């Protein structure tokens, strides 16, 4: 793929991922400046993620032509393929609860945190909280209410990043969407 002059050999796919991580990093840094409380930052990131997820699901459904999921295990597979599709990472689905209503997504690395180091005073910052929000927003649009949260994070010295996803309830058609 070398070009005449050979100036740039960068792969556009790789760059779009890096651009995403770097943009997100600048965003988090700015929000940290704007809010004094780290918990508020976490909330904002989750909220932005939610808004993204609400839109992202449409793109996912349009691309994949996938139908309704029959059970939560199928949901986990779809979530896995969405991560592959949009962020080019393949989290492992594991640690199912006995009742199959809770699972974990294991990321070997934190997909957003490729270039990140957390300063000490940000210990409570859930850096990748936007992912949790996106997942919640996306699934809400297909009538699945979930809760999800990080239980391990490479940025905090853990060996891998683990996102726990818990099924809350199926949102019925007749009920207006829950307040957010």
Partner 1 sequence: MDSEEVPLDLLHIELVAHFVSQKDKIDEALSTLEAIGFNTGYRLIERLTRDSLKFKDELDLMKFICKDFWVSVFRKQIDNLRTNHQGVYVLQDNTFKFLNKISDGKQYLEFAPRYMAFTCGLLRGTLANLGIVSVVTADVTSMPSVKFQVKVQRV
- Residues numbered 80-119 forming contacts with partner 1, rule: CB under 8 A: 85-88, 115
Could you say whether residue 10 binds partner 1 (CB under 8 A)? Answer: yes
Size of the residue set binding partner 1 (CB under 8 A): 38
Length of the chain: 180
Cβ proximity to partner 1, 12 vs 67, nearer residue: 12
Q: Interior CA angle at 58 toward 56 and 61, to 5°? A: 110
d(C-alpha 101, C-alpha 121), whole Å: 35
Decide: 118 and 127 in contact? Cβ < 8 Å: yes
d(C-alpha 97, C-alpha 169), whole Å: 16
Instruction: List Cβ neighbours of 65 (8 Å cut-off, separation of 6 or more).
Output: none
Cβ proximity to partner 1, 27 vs 122, nearer residue: 27
Q: Which of 56, 79, 139, 155 binds partner 1 (CB under 8 A)?
A: 56
- Residues numbered 118-177 forming contacts with partner 1, rule: CB under 8 A: 130
Kindly state the helix (H) or strand (E) to which residue 154 belongs, with its residue range.
Answer: none
Could you say whether residue 59 binds partner 1 (CB under 8 A)? Answer: yes
Nearest distance, CB of residue 157 and partner 1, angstroms? 24
Could you say whether residue 5 binds partner 1 (CB under 8 A)? Answer: yes
Extract the tokens encoding 177: 């969407």
Note the residues at the interface with partner 1 (CB under 8 A): 5-10, 12-13, 15-20, 22-27, 29-31, 34, 44, 48, 51-52, 55-56, 59, 63, 85-88, 115, 130
């Amino acid at each position: 793929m070398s070009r005449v002059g050979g100036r740039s050999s960068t792969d556009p796919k790789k760059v779009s991922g890096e651009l995403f991580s770097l943009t997100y990093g600048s965003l988090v840094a700015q929000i940290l400046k704007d809010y004094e409380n780290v918990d508020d930052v976490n909330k904002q990131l989750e909220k932005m993620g939610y808004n993204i997820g609400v839109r992202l699901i449409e793109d996912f459904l349009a691309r994949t032509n996938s139908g309704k999921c029959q059970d939560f295990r199928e949901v986990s597979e779809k979530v896995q393929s969405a991560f592959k599709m949009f962020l080019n990472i393949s989290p492992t689905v594991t640690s199912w609860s006995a009742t199959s209503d809770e699972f974990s997504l294991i990321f070997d690395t934190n997909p957003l945190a490729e270039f990140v180091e957390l300063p000490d005073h940000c210990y409570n910052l859930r850096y990748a909280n936007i992912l949790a929000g996106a997942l919640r927003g996306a699934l809400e649009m297909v009538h699945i209410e979930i809760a999800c949260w990080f239980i391990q994070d490479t940025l905090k010295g853990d060996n891998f990043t683990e996102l726990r996803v818990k099924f809350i309830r199926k949102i019925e058609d007749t009920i207006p969407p829950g307040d957010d």
